[in-house]
Amino acid sequence: MRKHIVAGNWKMNKTFEQADDLINEIVEKLETTELDRNTLLILCPPFPYLEMTSDYANDSYFMVGAQDVSSHKEGAYTGEISAAMLDSMDLDYCIVGHSERRQYHGESNAMVAAKVDQLLKHDIKPIVCCGEVLAERESEKQFDVVKQQIVEGLFHLSAEQFSNIVIAYEPVWAIGTGKTATPEQAQEIHAFIRNLIAEKYGKEVADNTSILYGGSCKPSNAKEIFAQADVDGGLIGGACLKAVDFLAIATSF
Ligand code: PEP
């Protein structure tokens, strides 16, 4: 049975002290929150807070992920963080190909593929983002765009490697805008993605792949979105910065 996953992408938010407060609050609230046994909670704070977050995770019920990784192995790449470094900190997950990386840092599907390869070499599970921009949705190109992102970013993997992949469908027009895809729109694309995976890797791999929705997901709409047959949870931006909202979403299955 595939996992339900709720992952919080903090992006570039919080000072060290604020980060400490937020994780502390999440840990406290988790003591009295009934998380479904099949639900995995993942916190993806900025790089400087990964160690602190991992320390908290040792005594709590969440896992830790990074927001990005270098496509290079090691060497003269100032400012970059390698998969080996994340591995040496025992990280479990890493977001790859977020639309903000694609938009502001020119991250191509080929770079996504290279980052995924680096992560898999170090047994870190990639959370791979895909999704169309508004103009692509308006011209009904969303299926073509998402297919190309997945084929070019992931379909070089073997079935065994692919079984470590989590996919996050994030329509770019819904990220941080307050506009959410309707549950039907989310289901339509999630089913399309699962079908693509089934065609390439077979039904079993497709059925075991967690496909998350991201884009203005909040406590008031999570239940309806997560109730869709092919939606296995969410990648949460803004709403993960408040412990009470993040945990309300995590209990929306
Ligand atoms: C995101 O950036 O991954 C995201 C889903 O953001 P938000 O929830 O703020 O739309």
Q: 């059925």: which residue's tokens?
A: 207
Buried b (16+ CB within 10 A) or exposed e, 69-83: bbbeeeeeeeeebbb
Active site annotation includes 170: yes
Tokens representing 125?
Answer: 């599970």
Q: Give pLDDT tens digits for 48-102.
A: 999 999 999 999 999 999 999 999 999 999 999 999 999 999 999 999 999 999 9
Q: Which residues pair with 128 in a beta bridge?
A: 96, 167
Active site annotation includes 80: no
Q: Which of 4, 100, 170, 190 is catalytic?
A: 170
Atom 7 of ligand 1, nearest CA residue:
237
Low-confidence residues in the chain, pLDDT < 70 = none
**Residue 9 Cα: closest atom of ligand 1:** 3
Distance (Å, whole) CA 188 – CA 44: 27
| Beta strands 93-96; 63-66: pairing state | parallel
* One-letter amino acid for residue 114 of the chain: A
Query: What's the CATH architecture for 4-250?
Result: Alpha-Beta Barrel (3.20)
Distance (Å, whole) CA 182 – CA 184: 5
Q: Are 122 and 89 in contact (CB under 8 A)?
A: no
Q: Which of 98, 107, 132, 136 is catalytic?
A: 98
Q: What integer pLDDT is reported at residue 1 of this predicted model? A: 84
Q: Are 215 and 180 in contact (CB under 8 A)?
A: yes
Q: What integer pLDDT is reported at residue 43 of this predicted model? A: 98
Angle at 190 between CA 188 and CA 192, to 5 degrees: 70
Beta-carbon contacts of 134 under 8 Å, excluding residues fewer than 6 positions away, are: 172, 173
Q: How many A from CA of 101 to the centre of ligand 1?
A: 13
